[in-house]
Amino acid sequence: MELQWQLCSETNLALFFPKPITLDKQRQCWALADIINQMPEVTEVVIGMNTLSVFTLSLTWTELQTFEKTLSALLDDIPSKTINGKHVEIPVHYGGKYGPDLAAMAKALNISVEDVVNLHTEATYTVYFIGFQPGFPYLGGLSESLYFPRHAIPRTQVPAGSVGIGGEQTGVYPFESPGGWQLLGQTDMALFDLTKDSPTLLSAGDTLKFTAIDIHE
């Protein structure tokens, strides 16, 4: 699939990298965002999972077409940006009341609960971006053996600190909210704290590992 910008509205263009989702593509998103943010037509650049969304000032149709050509020229030789973020370890209570989907997910994958926990904790994850909730990290690095679909009917309440898997991603809910991810466990570590100078625990480019405090049946 040819990489190209999509015109979504009079003031928004979006770029979607083809699957699979990779860290190399995310690094290209980070680099493109830095360049595009400097352009006078731009009001905001929002980074997603191997995607970019660019918001502009109100432009005439001719100006918008010209701007799209400027953005398209960047795709001829996309730079890459490496962010040397911090490393964080997140302790997790797995299973039982903390992770109500762990046992059923292990059974569906035809592996043991311990295998699920081992696969989840042995990986080093990279924060691709923060979204959905303040402090919610979208992570790359989940083992393909743990890819698992979201619930067809989301829960109306997912407890704060819940650690889950949704499709090809894993993450942590900073706040109680509705959600459809498979819940493996829960952490007491706060991902968002307004009393701190930097309220979000994690930022794009950080790495993290989950560590098992205990595993409940």
Q: Which of 88, 96, 82, 13 is nearest to 52 (CA)?
A: 13
pLDDT for residue 217 is more than 90: no
50-100 per-position pLDDT tens digit:
999 999 999 999 999 999 999 999 999 999 999 989 999 999 999 999 999
- pLDDT score for 195: 82
pLDDT for residue 180 is more than 60: yes
87-216 has CATH 2.60.40.1230 classification: no
- pLDDT score for 2: 75
Record: fold of 5-76:
Gyrase A; domain 2 (3.30.1360)
| Residues 151, 175: Cα–Cα separation, whole Å | 19
Average pLDDT, rounded, for the chain: 93
Q: Place 198 in a pLDDT band, splitting at 50, 70 and 90.
A: confident
Three-state SS sequence of the chain: CCCCEEEEECCEEEEECCCCCCHHHHHHHHHHHHHHCCCCCEEEEEECCCEEEEEECCCCHHHHHHHHHHHHHHHHCCCCCCCCCCEEEEEEEEECCCCCCHHHHHHHHCCCHHHHHHHHHHCCEEEEEECCCCCCEEEECCCHHHCECCCCCCEEEECCCEEEEEECEEEECCCCEEECCEEEEECCCCCECCCCCCCECCCCCCEEEEEEEEEEC
Average pLDDT estimate for 26-33: 96
Residues of the chain with CATH 3.30.1360.40: 5-76
110-162 per-position pLDDT tens digit:
999 999 999 999 999 999 999 888 889 999 999 999 999 999 999 999 999 99
Distances (CA, A) of 134 to 140, 160, 175: 18, 12, 8
**Radius of gyration over alpha carbons of the chain, in Å?**
19
- pLDDT score for 134: 85
Cα angle, residue 4 at apex, residues 62 and 52 outer, rounded to 5°? 95
- pLDDT score for 52: 95
Q: Which of 136, 130, 135, 98 is nearest to 117 (CA)?
A: 98
- pLDDT score for 131: 82
pLDDT for residue 1 is more than 80: no
Residues of the chain with CATH 2.40.100.10: 87-216
% of the chain beyond a pLDDT of 90: 86
Q: Which of 174, 95, 105, 103 is nearest to 138 (CA)?
A: 174
pTM of this structure? 0.87
